[in-house]
C-alpha cells in the first residue's frame, strides 16, 4: 500500500459510486463536464481519429465513447469492476469497438510495450495511488512520439484544507488554500455541481500531491512536457450556474497536462 489507500480500497469506493455516477453522468448531470471540462479538454486533446488510444481510469466509459465516436480506436481501463461492467454493458448496447479491461493504470502488464499512439485520462490520476508508477507504465505502453494528455483537479487549489470565504451575503469572495504539503490520504464526500439534494453523494479517497510531484513524475518517466492549461469557465456557464462563478473569478478548478514520449530514447 502506498499514498494512504490501496488500489483494492480505491476500487471498493468506486464500485460503490458506480451506479449513481453512471446514471448522473449519462443524464448530463455532471454540468462542469458538459459546460467546461469536456469542451476544453477535447479541444486540448486535438484530433485522435484513427489513433490507438488508451483511456486510463475510464470509469463507466462516457468520455471513452465520445472519443470512439470521433474516430479513435479506444481501449479503456479502470480499477473498479463495477465501472468496467457498466462500460461493457454500454458497449454491448451501442457497439463502438471499445475494449475494456479491469486493471490499474499503474499496472498495465496486459498491454505490450509501445502498443498505443495516445494515452488519455479524464479526471482519474488524482484518484489513485502510485502516480510515478502510472507515468512509467503509460510511457512503456506508448509508441515513440506518442501522446499523453490528462486532466485532474488543480493540485494547488483543491487541497484538503481548501474552502470558500464568503461575505455577509454568502457571496464567495475568496478561496482559501491550506495543507498543500499534507499528502495524508483522506476521503471526500461530494456531489456534482447543482445536483439535487436527493442525489447520493460520491465518497472518494483522495491522494493530494503537489504540483512538483505531478510535473516531476511526468519528467522522471521520460516524457517531454509540451503544454499545461487551466480552463476558465465562460460567462455563459456562470450565468446558467451561478454557483460556479468562483472558478471563473478566483481560482482554477482543473489542470491539464500534455506530454510526448520522445522519438528517440534520451541519453
Ligand atoms: C472521477 S472518476 C472519472 C472516470 C472517467 N474518466 C470519467 O471521466 O467519467 C475517477 C476514476 O478513476 C478510477 N481509478 C482510481 N484509481 C485507479 C487506478 N489505480 N487505476 C485505474 N482507474 C483508477 C476510479 O475507479 C474512477 O472510475
Average pLDDT over residues 148-165: 96
Ligand 1 atom 7 nearest Cα: 59
Residue 186 has pLDDT above 50, yes or no: yes
**Helix (H), strand (E) at residue 225:** strand 224-229
Number of Cβ atoms within 10 Å of the Cβ of 229: 16
- pLDDT, one tens digit per residue, over 40-62 is 999 999 999 999 999 999 999 99
**For ligand 1, is residue 80 a contact (CB within 6 Å)?**
yes
86 vs 171 pLDDT, higher one: 86
Cα distance between residue 228 and residue 175, in whole Å: 22
Output the pLDDT for position 5: 92
The model's pTM: 0.96
Any idea which residue has 473498479 for its cell? 80
Pocket test for ligand 1, best of 18, 127, 149 (most atoms within 8 A of CB): 127
Residue 267 has pLDDT above 60, yes or no: no
Q: Is 137 in contact with 145 (CB distance < 8 Å)?
A: no
Specify burial of residue 136 (Cβ count, 10 A radius: 0-12, 13-18, 19+). Answer: middle
Confidence tier at 3 by pLDDT (50, 70, 90):
low
Cα distance between residue 186 and residue 120, in whole Å: 25
- pLDDT, one tens digit per residue, over 80-90 is 999 999 999 99
Share of the chain above pLDDT 90, in %: 91
Separation of 56 CA from ligand 1 center, angstroms?
A: 7
Confidence tier at 161 by pLDDT (50, 70, 90):
very high
C-alpha cell of 245? 462563478
Confidence tier at 193 by pLDDT (50, 70, 90):
confident
Instruction: Kindly report the three-state secondary structure assignment for every residue of 165-190.
Output: EECCCCCEEEEECCCCCCCCCEEEEE
Output the pLDDT for position 266: 66
Q: Is 172 in contact with 165 (CB distance < 8 Å)?
A: yes
Cα distance between residue 127 and residue 117, in whole Å: 24
Residue 65 has pLDDT above 50, yes or no: yes
Residue 135 has pLDDT above 70, yes or no: yes
Specify burial of residue 168 (Cβ count, 10 A radius: 0-12, 13-18, 19+). Answer: exposed
Confidence tier at 1 by pLDDT (50, 70, 90):
very low
The contacts found for 188-195 with CB under 8 angstroms, 24 or more apart, are: 192/24, 192/29, 192/30, 192/31, 192/32, 193/30, 193/31, 193/32, 193/241, 193/243, 193/244, 194/31, 194/241, 194/243, 195/24, 195/29
Average pLDDT over residues 212-219: 98
**For ligand 1, is residue 142 a contact (CB within 6 Å)?**
no
Cβ-Cβ contacts under 8 Å for 254 (sequence gap 6 or more): 36, 37, 40, 41, 123, 151, 152, 153, 154, 230, 231
Atom of ligand 1 nearest to the CA of 58: 6
Output the average pLDDT for the chain.
Answer: 95
Q: SS3 breakdown of the chain: % helix, strand, coil, rounded to 5?
A: 35, 25, 40
Helix, strand or coil, per DSSP, at residue 24: helix
Ligand 1 atom 20 nearest Cα: 104
Cα distance between residue 12 and residue 131, in whole Å: 19
Separation of 168 CA from ligand 1 center, angstroms?
A: 38
Ligand 1 atom 9 nearest Cα: 59
Output the pLDDT for position 265: 74
Separation of 128 CA from ligand 1 center, angstroms?
A: 8
Amino acid at each position: 500500500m502506498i499514498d494512504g489507500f490501496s488500489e483494492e480500497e480505491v476500487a471498493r469506493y468506486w464500485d460503490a459510486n458506480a451506479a449513481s455516477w453512471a446514471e448522473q453522468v449519462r443524464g448530463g448531470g455532471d454540468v462542469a463536464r458538459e459546460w467546461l471540462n469536456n469542451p476544453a479538454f477535447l479541444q486540448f486533446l486535438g484530433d485522435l481519429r484513427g489513433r490507438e488510444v488508451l483511456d486510463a481510469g475510464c470509469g463507466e466509459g462516457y468520455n471513452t465513447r465520445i472519443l470512439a465516436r470521433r474516430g479513435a480506436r479506444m481501449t479503456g481501463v479502470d480499477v473498479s469492476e463495477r465501472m468496467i461492467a457498466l462500460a461493457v454493458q454500454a458497449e454491448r448496447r451501442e457497439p463502438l469497438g471499445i475494449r475494456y479491461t479491469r486493471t490499474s493504470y499503474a499496472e498495465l502488464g496486459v498491454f505490450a510495450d509501445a502498443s498505443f499512439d495516445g494515452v488519455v485520462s479524464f479526471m482519474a490520476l488524482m484518484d489513485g495511488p502510485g502516480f510515478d508508477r502510472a507515468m512509467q507504465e503509460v510511457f512503456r505502453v506508448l509508441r515513440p512520439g506518442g501522446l499523453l494528455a490528462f486532466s485532474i483537479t488543480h493540485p494547488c487549489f483543491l487541497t484538503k484544507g481548501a474552502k470558500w470565504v464568503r461575505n455577509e451575503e454568502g457571496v464567495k469572495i475568496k478561496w482559501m488554500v491550506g495543507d498543500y504539503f499534507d499528502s495524508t490520504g483522506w476521503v471526500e464526500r461530494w456531489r456534482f455541481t447543482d445536483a439535487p439534494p436527493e442525489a447520493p453523494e460520491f465518497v472518494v479517497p483522495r491522494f493530494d500531491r503537489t504540483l512538483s510531484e505531478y510535473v516531476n513524475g511526468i519528467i522522471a518517466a521520460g516524457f517531454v512536457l509540451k503544454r499545461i492549461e487551466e480552463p476558465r469557465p465562460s460567462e455563459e456557464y456562470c450565468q446558467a450556474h451561478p454557483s460556479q462563478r468562483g472558478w471563473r473569478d478566483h481560482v482554477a478548478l482543473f489542470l491539464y497536462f500534455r506530454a510526448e514520449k520522445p522519438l528517440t530514447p534520451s541519453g
